[in-house]
Structure 1
Amino acid sequence: MTNGSTRDRILDALEQLLLATGSAQVTLDAVAAEAGVSKGGLLYHFPSKDALLLGLVSRLGERADKQLDDAVSAGSSITEFYLQSPDAAAEADLQVYRSLLAALHSVDGQNHALRDAVIAVLRGWDEHLQNEIEDPVLAEIVRLAGDGIYFGAMLGMPPPDPELHRRVVERLAQSGDR
């Protein structure tokens, strides 16, 4: 959990509840209790359950964008970043994983604005790859491979063999340079 603002504590509490129970069981009262704030305090920041869920998706986008910006600033290409093996020890990675998983738990098919917001975050990642990789087929291969690595890590599946993973990233990054 983040030890930040009241808004972050509320969103952290929402994440915890979504991960534990799913969207149907999450109430404003439960989120307020989990966050240690009054219901009025929660409503000050998020006037409805929809606003609360959209706030979660917005924070997911902010966290993911910051993570990407930090990686690019450190010299990584977008392709290398997207295909990286998740570092379970890195708090920023864990925050993005929790946020994404919670956001996916919140998309129940009933709230089209929420579903569209989650899709917009995911499509934003696609756009970064499309902008870096000239070949749209290769960009899609990188996206699919990266999604597999990411979701596998979120589900606790064994990571890829480090040497084989390095070679996959190297080959895809070289292919994008052509």
Structure 2
Amino acid sequence: MGRPRVIDREAVLEAAEIVVGRDGAASLTLDAVAAEAGISKASVIYDCGSKESLIRAVIERRVRLDSEKIQAALDRLGNVPNARIRGRIEAAAHFDDNPAEAVALNLCSALAHDAELRSRMQKLCGDEIEAIMCDAENPGNAMVAFLAVEGLKIMEYFGFLRLTSEGRATVLKDIAALVEPSSGTGASS
């Protein structure tokens, strides 16, 4: 029988996000995560293995949390036309101007050389696009809406664009108009 688990993996991953959000991806070290979490470096190594494994785990956590946010929006919407893309737009409306939100993007750019991680992210993105397209009344408009909402998120996460909450709501309303059932404008399929 092994020792009981004392360290909360989520707390380690949250500490890693804080380090990246505060100091940038280049400053993510096992020592920095250990210091932020208030545990030993050996505990971080025991829990995560290596820096690369830690980075993958942080990215996977961010993807999972984003997926949960989208699923919650889908659950709120119920059975409506274009639910998949509308759920994504609705989830984007709840932007948290927290540096941790940008962590996965920062780490992805820092790990551009990791073919396995890049492949997993491409598959996740491809699967989501396929689900959106299958659910869409107008696949062309749904694709434009997907690209617009994800582009907006990236611009905000990297700090290239700062909208007021009213400005953000207006942009998301315009994106949502592309996939409203009565919408007859926008990109064609």
Fold shared by both chains (TM-score > 0.5): yes
Q: 2:151 aligns with which of 132, 148, 151?
A: 148
- Distance in structure 1 (CA, Å) of the matches to 2:118 and 2:175: 32
TM-score of the two chains, using structure 1 as the length reference = 0.75
Residue 135 to residue 171, structure 1, CA distance change in 2 (3 Å): closer
Q: 2:87 aligns with which of 81, 86, 89?
A: 81
Q: 2:163 aligns with which of 139, 158, 161?
A: 158
Aligned equivalent of 2:106: 105
Aligned equivalent of 1:172: 179
Shift of 1:8: 1.2
Aligned equivalent of 1:38: 40
- Distance in structure 2 (CA, Å) of the matches to 1:117 and 1:37: 30
Q: Is the 8 A contact 2:141 2:178 kept in 1?
A: no
Unaligned ranges ≥5, structure 1: none
Matched letter for residue 11 of structure 1: L
More helix per residue: 1
RMSD: 2.8
Moved over 6 A (4+): none
Q: Is the 8 A contact 1:82 1:142 kept in 2?
A: no
Matched letter for residue 163 of structure 2: P
- Distance in structure 2 (CA, Å) of the matches to 1:161 and 1:48: 38
Residue 171 to residue 87, structure 1, CA distance change in 2 (3 Å): same
- Tell me the matched-pair count: 166
Q: 1:51 aligns with which of 32, 50, 53?
A: 53
Aligned-residue sequence identity (percent) comes to 23
TM-score of the two chains, using structure 2 as the length reference = 0.71
Shift of 1:132: 1.4
